[in-house]
Amino acid sequence: MGKNVLIIGGGIVGLCSAYFLHKEGHQVTILDKSDITSGASFVNAGYITPSHIIPLASPGMIVKGIKWMFSPTSPFYMKPRWDMDFFRWSWYFHKSSTKEKVAHAIPLIKEINLMSRELFAAIKNTGDLGDFQLERKGLLMLYKTEEEGEHELEVAEKASFLGMEVSSLDKKALNKLQPNLTMDVKGAVHYECDGHTTPTEFMEKMLDYLKRNGVIIKTNEEVTDIVTDNGRITKVISEKTEYSPEEIVLAAGSWSEKLSKKMKLKLPIQAGKGYSINVPRPTGITIPAILMEAKVAVTPMKQFTRFAGTMEFSGINDIINKERVEAIAKAVKEFYPEIEINTEEIAKAKSGLRPVSPDGLPYIGKSSTLENLTIATGHAMMGWSLGPVTGQLVSEIISDKKTSMDIIGFSPNRKF
């Protein structure tokens, strides 16, 4: 018999959780403080990336972060501020950035990404959402320097060892693969295992499907309190009403830590802000790419090309840092000399906040202290890629089924 489930958060993870829970016969309500038309799930690069096997918390990242702290245009930026939660998270991040912990994370990231890639295809094959962009052209890691190329080739060797399709391309092979496009690079690593989508299209179609099939969507309604009693959540109180569901899914992205405190839980998360610029004119780009030295993502989407990038830790806010947006535009020109992002396109740049856990792995699983709470957040840069698989795992947990993979490594109760 289906359960009454309340999902807090209407991003890709919340919507996919609703999709699979509805398929299992549960009654589902989604509660979101926004109108579900903006944020990280709408402005991301749209990558489905089994190739992204190295978590953000890796050796050397804290040193880079400190070095880049004094450059507001750097790809990885930590804004200096007095914030005990940020200090605590930074210490956990440092503790997680070891070779041993990265080695432990790699197979987990690979398995969950491959599962999610197949689920994107499965959702498309059902016809539930109608047609939407889902392409498998791979991902090009474009590099300008030998140092960056050698570093990426080391990652490629690990990916190849794990069975993923990857190849190294010199300039000639790259030009053959991506013709009629001038690129100022030395070469590329091509992860043929990756795919891409248009996030705005997928989100709109998924929302429409859920509404048509009885999932209740409550927008512009912020959670103000969560009442617990005897190891259970008894009430979720919003600005407008109260809810008493049997099961609750916390999928509130970067706001999850704030909400977790209302339940006396420790869920370390920092908001990692990213920016994106859409160029709605021909660019000649047909294959997604990452501009290695600049850490800028490039995606040919439906009717436009998206240029996205940066990881900015400056707290929860929607401030657009013009310097960082202009740094993305400058990087595009450096890698693609014939493409110039104009001032109007730059002015329309958008931002989104990605929920980043200290070790770069998502939180997926039951709370150890509240028996009717399932947590699904903290996906960092893999949120889009892992949306479907997280939704399926959440559905399996709430339906009391054996999960499709071992999720102990993603436990929200893990210690740092």
81-100: per-residue pLDDT in tens?
Answer: 788 998 899 899 888 888 88
Question: Does the pLDDT at position 190 exceed 60?
Answer: yes
Question: Does the pLDDT at position 396 exceed 80?
Answer: yes
Question: Does the pLDDT at position 328 exceed 90?
Answer: yes
Question: Does the pLDDT at position 67 exceed 70?
Answer: no
Token pair 């040193």: residue? 63
Token pair 């799930």: residue? 41
What is the signed CA dihedral for 82, 87, 93, 95, rounded to 10 degrees? Answer: 150
416 class by beta-carbon count within 10 Å (0-12 exposed, 13-18 middle, 19+ buried):
middle
Cβ atoms of 276 and 307 within 8 Å: the answer is: yes
Mean pLDDT computed over 144-171: 90
User: What are the pLDDT digits (tens) for 285-311?
Assistant: 999 999 999 999 999 999 999 999 988
What's the pLDDT at 185?
A: 97
- Confidence class of residue 105 from pLDDT cuts 50, 70 and 90? confident
CA atoms within 13 A on the CB side of 368: 10
230 class by beta-carbon count within 10 Å (0-12 exposed, 13-18 middle, 19+ buried):
exposed
Other C-beta atoms lying within 10 Å of the C-beta of residue 263: 18
What's the pLDDT at 241?
A: 96
Ordered by where they begin, the domains of the chain are: 4-410 (3.50.50.60)
d(CA 291, CA 185): 9
What's the pLDDT at 62?
A: 57
Question: Does the pLDDT at position 57 exceed 70?
Answer: no
